[in-house]
Amino acid sequence: MNSDLFQEALVAIASGVSTTLMLITTTAIVGLILSTLSAAAKRSGNRFLRAVVITYVEVIRNTPFLVQLFFIYFGLPALGIRLDPITAALLAMIMNMTAYTTEIIGGGLDAVPEGQRDAAQALGLKPHIAFIKVILPQALVVIYPALASQIIIMMLESAVVSQIAVRELTHQADLWQARTFRAFETYFVVAMIYLVMAVTLRHLMVLFGRRFISASIT
């Protein structure tokens, strides 16, 4: 392979990696915020909210991500909602991630003893302050590893958004193999890049967790 081609490959990979990272970062941040809200809504005592959250989680968890993506990207235009590929991919990823993390966060909230809320209330904290300052930090220690795993799973699953022509890492690989006719080598190298990204991301999340959440996180 001459050096020009090699350089072009590097540029394609860098651009693909940055798009993949942008997708997963946005998904993780928005997904975690939404799932905290939905986990709280499920436990708010409002029956209607509870039913909505339960139905949502069940539907998303029992259907493939690729079908959800196609439904959003190809199906919604029939209702007049036309999204560009990146928006459709982000919407699908956020919706999918939120369903899983709602369950994880909910499990964590349930693990915090009831007495913590009572004590916070006795100290005069308003319910939402008690939730943010007392309940959530304790829940986070328990569920942090599961959340980190879910983010990595979502990053790997995001490879299929190449199918709606989002120019992330796998799509760059598709373009590259179509150009060079080196499908096996291209996909192999890109798979290894995903592996490095997954390992690095996990490492970073453990470091982040130790620094900001609890020293006991591994």
Partner 1 sequence: MIEFTNWDILRNLLFATRWTVALSVVAFVGGGVVGLFIMMLRISKRKAAQRFAAAYIGLFQGTPLLLQLFIIFFGFPMLGIRIEAWAAAALGLTLYASAFLGEIWRGGVEAVPEGQWDGSAALGLHGVRQMQLVILPQAFGYVRAPTVGFLVQLIKATAVTSIIGFEELLRVSNVINNATFEPLKVYGFVAAIFFLLCSPLTWYARILEKRANATK
Residues that bind partner 1 (CB under 8 A): 58-59, 61-68, 70-71, 74-79, 152, 156-160, 162-163, 170, 173, 177, 183-184, 187-188, 190-192, 194-195, 198-199
Q: How far is the CB of 57 from partner 1 (least distance, A)?
A: 10
Q: How far is the CB of 116 from partner 1 (least distance, A)?
A: 22
Q: How far is the CB of 158 from partner 1 (least distance, A)?
A: 8
Torsion of CA 184, 186, 188, 190, to 10 degrees: -160
Tokens standing for 199? 């390992």
Closer Cβ to partner 1, 134 or 190, answer by number? 190
CA distance 26 to 100: 16
List helix spans (H) across 112-135: 114-122, 127-130
Closer Cβ to partner 1, 71 or 212, answer by number? 71
Tokens standing for 165? 């022509």
Q: How far is the CB of 78 from partner 1 (least distance, A)?
A: 4
Closer Cβ to partner 1, 38 or 186, answer by number? 186
Closer Cβ to partner 1, 109 or 201, answer by number? 201
139: nearest Cα among 35, 29, 30: 35
Element (H, E) at 174: helix 169-180
Q: How far is the CB of 37 from partner 1 (least distance, A)?
A: 23
Core vs surface per residue 39-57: b (16+ CB within 10 A) or e: bbbbeeeeeeeeeebeebb
Closer Cβ to partner 1, 15 or 149, answer by number? 149
**Integer-rounded Cα radius of gyration of the chain:** 20
Instruction: Say if CB 141 and CB 114 are below 8 A apart.
Output: no
Q: How far apart are the first and last CA of the chain?
A: 42
Q: How far is the CB of 35 from partner 1 (least distance, A)?
A: 18
Closer Cβ to partner 1, 130 or 162, answer by number? 162
